[in-house]
Amino acid sequence: MPLAPCRQCAEPVDSRLAFCPHCDAPRPGLTEWRGEGYEWRTEMLWMGSPVIHVAFGNGADGRPRVARGLIAVGQRAVGGIAVGIVATGFVAIGAVSIGVFSLGIVAVAGLAAVGVNAIAPVAIGVVAVGYLAGGVAALGWKILFAATP
Ligand SMILES: [Zn+2]
């Protein structure tokens, strides 16, 4: 196996390894590593965050990138409008979404959620739990509509 000194701790490691067995540095065989995936952000800021931040893949520290912005798009997205696998925001759209307004496979919201599983004061989903709930299976104080009575 091709050996190379780890970029971070200088121990000899297999240069094909994804992580150094000694210090956990990502891709230790490379002399330079800026992460993998894709990241783009606007230079314009809104309350200290980029207006738009798009982030996929892992950063230079080997951890998944998190998109943070007024509009955030990524596997993990946090923002005013967040779109991602896991999305947290005022408006959250994702497989797992947590927000004031949420849309997702699992959607949890402070006001309204629409999803396969929706949990919110106003919930619409296959399984909906809320004050106002509508869905195939709806649990709520007021049932908007339901397939199962
Ligand atoms: Zn190392």
What is the per-residue pLDDT across 38-53, written as a single tens digit (0 to 9) for each? 999 999 999 899 999 9
The pLDDT tens digits of the residues spanning 53-80 come to: 999 999 888 889 999 999 999 999 999 9
Question: Which amino acid appears at position 56 of this protein?
Answer: F
Q: What is the DSSP letter of 92?
A: E
| CB of 111 closer than 8 Å to CB of 101 | yes
Residue-wise pLDDT for 83-139, tens only, equals 999 999 999 999 999 999 999 999 999 999 999 999 999 999 999 999 999 999 999
- CA of residue 64 to ligand 1 center, whole Å: 19
Give this prediction's pTM.
Answer: 0.82
The predicted model gives 33-39 an average pLDDT of 89
- Residue 139 pLDDT: 95
Centre of ligand 1 from the C-alpha of residue 17, in Å: 11
Task: Assign 1 a pLDDT band (cuts: 50, 70, 90).
Answer: confident
Ligand 1 centroid to 149 CA: how many Å?
60
Cα–ligand 1 centroid distance for 60 (angstroms): 14
Examine the pLDDT at 148 and tell me if it is beyond 70.
Answer: no
Tell me, in angstroms, the distance from the centre of ligand 1 to residue 102's CA: 41
Cβ atoms of 91 and 100 closer than 8 Å: yes
Joined tokens for residue 109? 């919201």
